[in-house]
């Protein structure tokens, strides 16, 4: 193993406690959140609201994330990272109690927006804290483990809802219990020293722009990761149906993509830790991952003639998206600390989310237009642009 020469920081003295606290908090928090999200849609349906209103309610979470992410570093500087995490853990709990206490749909929208804002803060801060607490020589593995755990909560939450059922107050009570445990774990995050240069680091939109200028290739890679992992997963059932799969098999494509995302993170993170030149090594891995995405995108036209091709292609595209995000976060964590780390993480989250929104926004129309030509062509274009940019950056990995 070799330490990363791009970082002058060593692991925090309480790094093990800090990592355990962030992992534990996120496990319970996200399990509760991913149990709550489908539960609220069920409750809205029971109140006979339109599908449009239910869809807007689900989108409110993403609106909250977009609202808060540009200001995450400014809020973190004002409150400190521990208090900001307490806010991020406490607000969803308060929202869940509010859902239990009132049947007012407008109030539910407000609570969901606040929960989304808190969720955006948690997304940025938790990953920044993982990078802060992780030993430098094991940063990739730690980020991979964290990504895998987050992927597991996508399964745990809905599974708990299926077990508890959506009738009565039992499910909401379980959600509140999970969110309470998440808040309790957050309280164990140890004090974090502030780097000396933190006072000179810009925050807010200006800080985000500086992060983009410092790491443009990472932000592009984050966009592509979100495009292939987050965005494609949302429209895979439509693609499967257009290729002749049955409804159940088409829906299963999402699970296959998620399996690829979850299984890839730890091996890729561990591989990133093994290079004598960590910066160039991470860039080499990004090039390899982008090449895999390009090959898979180019194989999509074969699905029309051999439907079985869809399964490995979807698995590998999910793995590619997850791997790019993990490698980007590992690279940022190795280079930045303090508020600068929060800035860069916030920009990466924005780009990843933007990639997902672009993919989900255009893919439906592309599938309607031509599932066998237009849809693969756009995926090939995105992967090719990413591969070309990463190859160029690898030659000068500053």
CB 330 within 8 A of CB 268: no
Residues 28 and 185: beta-carbon distance below 8 Å: yes
Lowest mean pLDDT among 19-33, 125-139, 259-273, 347-361: 347-361
pLDDT confidence of residue 199: 53
CA atoms of 181 and 198, how far apart (whole Å): 32
Tokens of 221: 């890679």
CA 88/CA 122 separation, integer angstroms:
5
Mean pLDDT in residue range 230-235: 74
pLDDT of residue 7: 39
Residues 81, 154 share a domain: yes
The answer to whether residues 156 and 7 touch, using CB atoms and an 8 Å cutoff, is no
d(C-alpha 356, C-alpha 228), whole Å: 7
Q: Which of 157-161, 316-320, 362-366 has the lowest mean pLDDT?
A: 362-366
Provide the domain count of the chain: 2
Predicted local distance difference test score (pLDDT) of residue 21: 92
- The set of residues, in sequence order, having a beta carbon less than 8 Å from that of 333 and lying 6+ positions away, is 128, 130, 131, 132, 134, 139, 143, 341
Q: Note whether 342 and 214 are within 8 A (CB).
A: no
| Residue scoring higher pLDDT (334 or 113) | 113
Write out the DSSP string of 260-311: HHHHHHHHHHHHHTT-SSHHHHHHHHHHHHHHHHHHHHHHGGGGGT-GGGHH
- One domain, residues 63 and 164: yes
Which residues neighbour 39 within 8 Å (Cβ) at sequence distance 6 or greater?
161, 166, 171, 172, 175
pLDDT of residue 12: 47
Torsion-angle region of 306 (φ positive above 0: left; ψ -120 to 50: alpha; else: beta): beta
The answer to whether residue 276 sits within a structural domain is yes
Sequential DSSP letters for 88-100: HHHHHHHHHHHHH
Lowest average pLDDT, out of 13-27, 261-275, 289-303, 352-366, goes to 352-366
> Pick the residue with more confidence: 113 or 341?
113
Let me know: does 284 contact 263? Beta carbons within 8 Å: no
Domain limits at 152?
15-188
Quote the pLDDT of residue 203: 66
3 within a domain of the structure (yes/no): no
Whether residue 147 is found in the same domain as residue 19: yes
> How large is the C-alpha radius of gyration of the chain?
21
pLDDT (tens digit per residue) in 275-304 = 767 777 888 899 999 999 999 999 988 888
pLDDT tens-place string over residues 86-119: 999 999 999 999 988 888 899 999 999 999 999 8
pLDDT at site 80: 84
Answer yes or no: do 237 and 376 share one domain: yes
Over residues 160-179, the mean pLDDT reads 85
Q: Which residues contact 25 (CB under 8 A, 6 or more apart)?
A: 85, 89, 126, 182, 183, 185, 186, 189
Examine the fold and report which residue of 158, 188, 218 is the final residue of a domain before the chain moves on.
188
49 and 174 part of one domain: yes
Confirm whether 8 is domain-assigned: no
Residue 5: the pLDDT is 41
Contact 388, 286 (CB under 8 A): no
Average pLDDT of the residues of the chain: 83
Question: Residue 195's pLDDT is what?
Answer: 57
Supply the CATH number for residue 144's domain: 1.20.1250.20
Same domain, 324 and 358: yes
Q: Which of 188, 220, 251 is the last residue of a domain?
A: 188
Q: What is the pLDDT of residue 168?
A: 65
pTM given for the model: 0.80
**364 or 124, which is more confident?**
124
What's the pLDDT score for residue 306?
85
Both 156 and 255 in a single domain?
Answer: no
**Does residue 198 lie in a domain region?**
no
| Per-residue model confidence (pLDDT) at position 11 | 46
Same-domain status, 281 and 169: no
Statement to judge: residues 140 and 54 lie in one domain: yes
Closest CA to 312 of 324, 300, 325, 327: 300
Out of 196-210, 252-266, 340-354, which region has the weakest mean confidence (pLDDT)?
196-210
In a domain, 2, yes or no: no
- Please tell me the distance from the alpha carbon of residue 170 to that of residue 177, in angstroms, as a whole number: 11
Q: What confidence score (pLDDT) does residue 4 get?
A: 40
Total residues belonging to the chain: 398
pLDDT of residue 274 exceeding 60, the answer is yes
């Amino acid at each position: 193993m070799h330490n990363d020469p791009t970082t002058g920081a060593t692991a925090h003295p309480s790094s093990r406690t800090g990592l355990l606290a962030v992992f534990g908090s996120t496990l319970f928090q996200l399990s509760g959140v991913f149990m709550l999200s489908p539960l609220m849609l069920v409750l809205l349906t029971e109140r006979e609201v339109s599908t449009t209103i239910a869809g807007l309610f689900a989108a409110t979470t993403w609106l909250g994330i977009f609202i808060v992410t540009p200001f995450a570093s400014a809020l973190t500087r004002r409150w400190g990272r521990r208090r900001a995490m307490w806010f991020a853990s406490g607000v969803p709990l308060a929202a869940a109690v509010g859902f239990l206490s009132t049947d007012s749909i407008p109030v539910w929208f407000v609570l969901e927006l606040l929960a989304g804002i808190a969720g955006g803060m948690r997304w940025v801060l938790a990953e920044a804290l993982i990078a802060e607490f992780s030993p430098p020589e094991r940063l990739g593995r730690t980020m991979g483990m964290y990504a895998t755990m987050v992927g597991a909560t996508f399964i745990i939450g809905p599974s708990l809802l299926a077990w508890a059922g959506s009738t009565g107050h039992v499910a909401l009570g379980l959600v509140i219990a999970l969110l309470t445990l998440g808040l309790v774990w957050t309280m164990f995050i140890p004090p974090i020293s502030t780097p000396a240069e933190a006072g000179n680091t810009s925050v807010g939109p200006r800080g985000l722009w500086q992060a983009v200028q410092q790491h443009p290739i990472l932000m592009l890679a984050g966009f592509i990761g979100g495009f292939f992992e987050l965005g494609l997963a949302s429209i895979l059932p439509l693609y499967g149906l257009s290729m002749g799969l049955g409804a159940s098999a088409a829906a299963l494509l999402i699970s296959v993509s998620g399996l690829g995302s979850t299984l890839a993170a730890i091996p890729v993170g561990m591989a990133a830790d093994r290079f004598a030149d960590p910066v160039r090594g991470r860039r080499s891995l990004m090039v390899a991952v982008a090449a895999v995405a390009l090959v898979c995108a180019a194989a999509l036209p074969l699905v029309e003639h051999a439907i079985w091709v869809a399964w490995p292609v979807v698995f590998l595209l999910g793995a590619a998206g997850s791997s790019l995000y993990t490698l980007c976060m590992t690279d940022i964590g190795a280079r930045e600390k303090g508020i600068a780390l929060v800035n860069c993480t916030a920009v990466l989250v924005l780009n990843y989310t933007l990639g997902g929104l672009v993919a989900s926004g255009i893919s439906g129309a592309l599938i309607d237009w031509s599932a066998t030509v237009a849809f693969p062509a756009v995926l090939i274009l995105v992967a090719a642009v990413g591969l070309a940019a990463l190859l160029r950056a690898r030659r000068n990995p500053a």
